[in-house]
Amino acid sequence: MTAAFVVYGGSSICFSFEYVILEKKSIYEGAPMQTIIPHLWFDTQALEAAKVYTSLIPDSQIDWTHELTDTPSGNAVLLQFQLANLTLAAISAGPYFKLNESASLMVHFQDKAELDRVFQAFSEGGRILMPLGDYPFNPHYVWFEDRFGLSWQFLLDPQLDKPVHLEICLLFSEEQVGLAKPFLEEALTIFPESQQGQLSYYQEGEKQVPAAQLNYGELLLADQKLVVMDHGYGGVASFNEAFSLMVYTDSQEETSRLYDLLSHVPKAEQCGWVKDRFGLSWQIVPRPLMTAYEELSKEQMKEVNDAVLSMKRLDYDKIASLTKKSS
């Protein structure tokens, strides 16, 4: 997108920028779009991080990148990339938010040697949260933060029918401990096509925080899995805008419905961003807007951008009309 939202000094601001397409390629055209796209906010390292990730995880690529100019942080980059089965977006937009272990990418590896290879490369300059080893829930598991601040969980899955498989994992920590199950139950109503997968609860002696209930839960969305957990020890990091969840919409009705269901912090509403009652940030994005960024020229996008920047909740019909008129 060519708009970004930041909270600075307790206030919300939305800024615009011109863009230049640096690269665009996709072997995934025609493939079904996943329901929830993780969106990663970096200070300046979005493209560098994506290059590292896509170079080491099999079947990965950078789909497109935009150079952003005239932002509060100077020149920056917006991009979309694929890591095996998972589509992600990332932006370099200044030091306003910092990634932490409350949200991570969980990577299942078919081969132990491959897991070790990628872990060795990813963990260089990072921080180990749980050392590589044999655990009751997996014989070869590690949880760590890479040098860019993104949290990863690697685990061995020999029964996998592909080299790797990625999932989003949300860890409910600090004041959010105990809310993993309510989040899962609410998500099932927000996304009608979703299903509840495996559930596992903390047993006696497995937790230090009484409020912790769910030690593993799954939200199944078509071919996508979202994993949720309560932090049994409380944790020291909570959700913030650095790791947000982006959903593309295909009608005004769908757009309005998601805003109504997900937005619980009115002051966080800006340029399509909302914050739910669990502290998670979401971006509700009309699909015509993303299509326009791919297809329209900078000059054609000006009217669209001007309209978007005036909105808190994005107006699907108005954006669709503007993009059609400009094409």
Rounded mean pLDDT, 220-237: 94
The predicted pLDDT at position 222 comes to: 85
Cα–Cα distance measured from residue 268 to residue 11, given in angstroms and rounded to the nearest whole number:
9
Euclidean distance between the first and final Cα of the chain, in Å? 17
- The whole-model pTM stands at 0.90
215 and 266 within one domain: no
Q: Does the pLDDT at position 4 exceed 80?
A: no
Q: For residues 327 and 295, is the Cβ–Cβ distance under 8 A?
A: yes
* Count of domains observed in the chain: 2
166 and 134 within one domain: yes
The region that residue 279 occupies, defined by phi over 0 for left and psi between -120 and 50 for alpha, beta otherwise, is left
110 and 132 within one domain: yes
Domain containing residue 129: 103-230
Rounded mean pLDDT, 210-225: 95
112 and 88 within one domain: no
In a domain, 304, yes or no: yes
Looking at residue 217, which CATH number applies to its domain?
Answer: 3.30.720.110
| Domain termination residue (choose one: 230, 250, 268) | 230
In a domain, 237, yes or no: no
Looking at residue 88, which CATH number applies to its domain?
Answer: 3.10.180.10
Between 30 and 36, whose confidence is greater? 36
Three-point CA angle 110, 168, 229, nearest 5°: 105
107 and 81 within one domain: no
115 and 220 within one domain: yes
| Domain termination residue (choose one: 163, 196, 230) | 230
In a domain, 119, yes or no: yes
Between 92 and 303, whose confidence is greater? 92
In a domain, 236, yes or no: no
If you write DSSP's letter for every residue of 229-273 in order, what string do you get? Answer: EE-TT--S----TTEEEEEEESSHHHHHHHHHHH---GGG-BTTE
222 and 130 within one domain: yes
Q: Does the pLDDT at position 132 exceed 50?
A: yes
Q: What is the pLDDT of residues 270-294, one digit of tens each?
A: 889 999 999 999 999 999 988 887 7
191 and 163 within one domain: yes
- Three-state DSSP at 191 gives coil
127 and 61 within one domain: no
| Domain termination residue (choose one: 230, 265, 293) | 230
In a domain, 157, yes or no: yes
In a domain, 235, yes or no: no
In a domain, 136, yes or no: yes
128 and 21 within one domain: no
In a domain, 185, yes or no: yes
Q: Does the pLDDT at position 298 exceed 80?
A: no
300 and 183 within one domain: no
Confidence class for position 2, pLDDT limits 50, 70, 90: very low
Q: Does the pLDDT at position 256 exceed 80?
A: yes
